[in-house]
Chain A
Amino acid sequence: EPEVTQTPSHQVTQMGQEVILRCVPISNHLYFYWYRQILGQKVEFLVSFYNNEISEKSEIFDDQFSVERPDGSNFTLKIRSTKLEDSAMYFCASSEGAGGDTQYFGPGTRLTVL
């Protein structure tokens, strides 16, 4: 069964550094998402992406964040200048359609900002 994959599984970075988290969504899916989960807390929506543009974003997704689909398979989340509070698990998800289609989650990237 196809799955969403993410790399790296764990990223450690210094405060102020840029990080890029990578995702490969399920191949026939058209909608892509990033969520984050701070340790012990709930999963929070960051951004959704469709047709090569952001379709929805949350208040968390400020100017430090950007997303890109650089080729036909990868979907990336960039954090320009990391802060301590960016430490979290970041999940990529994808769905075939919108309007109630199941979102399938990747295994996550644990980001630790020191």
Chain B
Amino acid sequence: GENVEQHPSTLSVQEGDSAVIKCTYSDSASNYFPWYKQELGKRPQLIIDIRSNVGEKKDQRIAVTLNKTAKHFSLHITETQPEDSAVYFCAACLYTGTASKLTFGTGTRLQVTL
């Protein structure tokens, strides 16, 4: 089955700096890669996603890149703010023909300090 590795597990940056989180996946059939932000005790919230026919996608301060050949994808947050502090999960989605199954990475705890 699919396996998703995520690094780093914790990341501390100063406000205004950039943050980069990296993920790799194992199943080349995975075709959709969402990123979720989870605040303490809350639900995972989708922040950005990318499909396998696209190499890069940007939404204001957040961007995601995908390298299908190397099977890795990354989240980039620029001009970080304290409210960006949360746990970020990458996921790879495998469509089996009847269902989409998300396999999550182990999460990155991002701390943005003043």
Residues of A in contact with B (beta carbons under 8 Å apart): 31, 33, 35, 41-45, 48, 50, 55-56, 58, 91, 95, 98-108
Contact = CB atoms under 8 A, between A and B. Distances in A.
B60 interface: no
B61 interface: no
B75 interface: no
Contacts of A104: 46
27 contacts: A42-B105, A42-B106, A42-B107, A43-B89, A45-B101, A45-B102, A48-B101, A50-B99, A55-B96, A56-B98, A56-B99, A56-B101, A58-B101, A95-B100, A98-B100, A99-B95, A99-B100, A100-B32, A100-B95, A101-B100, A102-B46, A103-B34, A103-B100, A103-B102, A104-B46, A105-B45, A108-B43
Contacts of A44: 104
Interface of B: 31-32, 34, 36, 42-46, 49, 51, 89, 91, 93, 95-96, 98-107
A8 to B, nearest CB: 15
Given A42-B105, A42-B107, 18 more contacts: A31-B99, A31-B100, A41-B106, A48-B99, A48-B100, A48-B101, A50-B98, A50-B99, A55-B98, A56-B96, A58-B101, A99-B100, A100-B31, A102-B49, A103-B46, A104-B46, A105-B36, A108-B43
Contacts of B42: 107
A101 B43 CA distance: 18
Contacts of B44: 43, 91, 105
A1 to B, nearest CB: 12
A58 B102 CA distance: 11
B39 to A, nearest CB: 12
Nearest to A41: B106
Contact of B98 (A98, A101, A107): A98
A-B residue pairs, 9 tightest by C-beta: A100-B32, A55-B99, A48-B99, A56-B99, A55-B98, A99-B95, A98-B100, A105-B43, A43-B104
A41 B32 CA distance: 22
A101 B102 CA distance: 11
